Amino acid sequence: MTTHYPLTQINITGYRRLFSIEMKMRPLMVMIGANGVGKTSVLDVFSLLTSAAQGKLKNILSRFKFFYRKNLNLELNLGELMIF
């Protein structure tokens, strides 16, 4: 039996234009904003998380290495479970 933990919040610090953001997650999320404000960066973070879950984080980090600062920090809140 697989246990599912819903993603309820994500905090991102130090990735491209995302200096420090906190997003509460909902079943349907729509991002609207001007060019250059970070919409694609948010999607890139989800690509990083997907690759980490698949054991391919090293490959994707080499692809994004010019975009994150040394202090890239992702914090996930999965219901009762917190991941740093």
Domains in the chain: boundaries: 9-26+39-83
Strand 9-15 relative to strand 81-83: parallel, antiparallel, unpaired? unpaired
Residue with tokens 């054991």: 55
**Spatial contact of 41 and 14, defined as CB atoms under 8 Å apart:** no
Per-residue pLDDT, 34:
94
Sign of the alpha-carbon torsion through 29, 24, 20, 33: positive
Give the closest residue to 42 by CA, choosing from 59, 25, 66, 65: 25
Per-residue pLDDT, 2:
63
SS3 8: coil
Average pLDDT per block of 10 residues along the chain, 84 residues long: 75 83 88 91 85 80 64 72 54
Using CA atoms, how far apart are residues 45 and 41, in angstroms rounded to an integer? 6
